Amino acid sequence: MMWVLGLTGGIGSGKTTVSDLFSGHGITVVDADVIARHILDQGTPALAAVTERYGKQALTDDGSLNRGWLREKIFAEPEEKDWLNQLTHPLIRSQLLEELEAAASPYVILSAPLLVENNLTRLCDRVLVVDVSEETQRQRTLARDKVSSDQIEQILAAQASRNERLAAADDVINNEGTLSELAPQVKALHQDYLGRAQLKRAREKALQTDQGQED
């Protein structure tokens, strides 16, 4: 079994920047957000189901998903968010498991903004939280996504609280500073995780040997 690091953080925390730094050390990153986007690509059964429910208003002129429209829809109407989750979560989970199993790096990262909320932590050997203040989340999201303050508040309310994420964490990266301050934190954790992954492999190999001798 691969050693899996769960990586999470609230919107605007810099989770993608952190995962990119780990990727720079040769570690495979399985990103739930990327998988979720492709689950609703043109021609997929999931997009067909969305179109059947909402009509062509859910699509752009070229027939792809109108992600902005859908985002506003599900945050304004919680029952629609529930419906979309029931449609996509099993598909996303199946793809996540396939990609985790296929990873060839010394350990693999499962990156998911809703790692805690969707109980994906149970797939992980350890959980790393990228942490910033809620005010920093608001400022960065506003600058990056050009969305309204109301929508940012809705997104924050839909995610686990900062305290809930920290309670689930084995490790925490503080990302209030600059990239130059972030990189050394990632490098130190990477070295630690290499050791933990190697230890897990050694234990499993020893267990298999013991079982073979018993047989």
Q: What DSSP string runs through 15-84?
A: HHHHHHHHHHTT-EEEEHHHHHHHHTSTT-HHHHHHHHHHGGGGB-TTSSB-HHHHHHHHHH-HHHHHHH
Which H/E stretch holds residue 139? helix 134-145
Q: Are residues 96 and 50 in the same domain?
A: yes
Kindly report the CATH number assigned to the domain that includes residue 17.
3.40.50.300
- Alpha-carbon distance of 15 to 7, in angstroms, equals 7
pLDDT at 176 over 90: yes
Cβ 171 vs Cβ 129: under 8 Å: yes
Question: Are 69 and 158 part of one and the same domain?
Answer: no
Is the same domain home to 145 and 212?
A: yes
The DSSP call for residue 111 is: E
Annotated binding site for ATP: 12-17
Confidence of residue 204 (pLDDT cuts 50, 70, 90): confident
Instruction: Examine the fold and report which residue of 104, 120, 145 is the final residue of a domain before the chain moves on.
Output: 104
Pair 106, 200: CB distance under 8 Å: no
Task: Note whether 48 and 134 are same-domain residues.
Answer: no
Residue 22 is predicted with a pLDDT of: 98
Verify that 138 and 92 share a domain, yes or no.
no
Domain boundary among 59, 88, 104: 104
Residue 8 lies in a domain: yes
Categorize the per-residue pLDDT at 157 as very low, low, confident or very high, splitting at 50, 70 and 90.
confident
On whether both 125 and 79 belong to a single domain, the answer is no
* pLDDT tens for each residue of 96-143: 999 999 999 999 999 999 899 888 999 999 999 999 999 998 988 888
177 within a domain of the structure (yes/no): yes
Domain containing residue 153: 1-27+106-215
pLDDT at position 71 = 87
Please indicate, yes or no, whether residues 87 and 136 belong to a single structural domain of this protein: no
Is residue 129 in a domain? yes
Q: How many domains are contained in the chain?
A: 2
Write out the binding residues: 12-17
Is 45 part of a structural domain of the chain? yes
Confidence of residue 213 (pLDDT cuts 50, 70, 90): low
Q: Are residues 119 and 190 in the same domain?
A: yes
User: Cα(196)–Cα(163) distance, rounded to whole angstroms?
Assistant: 26
119 torsion bin: left (phi>0), alpha (psi -120 to 50), beta (else): left
Are residues 114 and 44 both part of a single domain? no
- From 104, 121, 139, give the residue that closes a domain: 104
What CA–CA distance (Å, rounded) separates 136 from 66? Answer: 28
Query: Is the domain of 48 the same as that of 20?
Result: no
Distance CA 97, CA 106 (A): 17
In the chain the first and final C-alpha atoms are separated, in Å, by: 21
78 and 163 co-located in one domain: no
Tokens at residue 133, please?
């203040």
pLDDT single digits (tens) 42-88: 999 999 999 999 999 999 999 999 998 998 899 889 899 999 999 99
Q: What is the pTM of this model?
A: 0.84
Do 126 and 59 belong together in one domain?
A: no
Q: For residue 32, is it within any domain?
A: no
Q: How far is it, in rounded angstroms, from Cα 74 to Cα 191?
A: 40
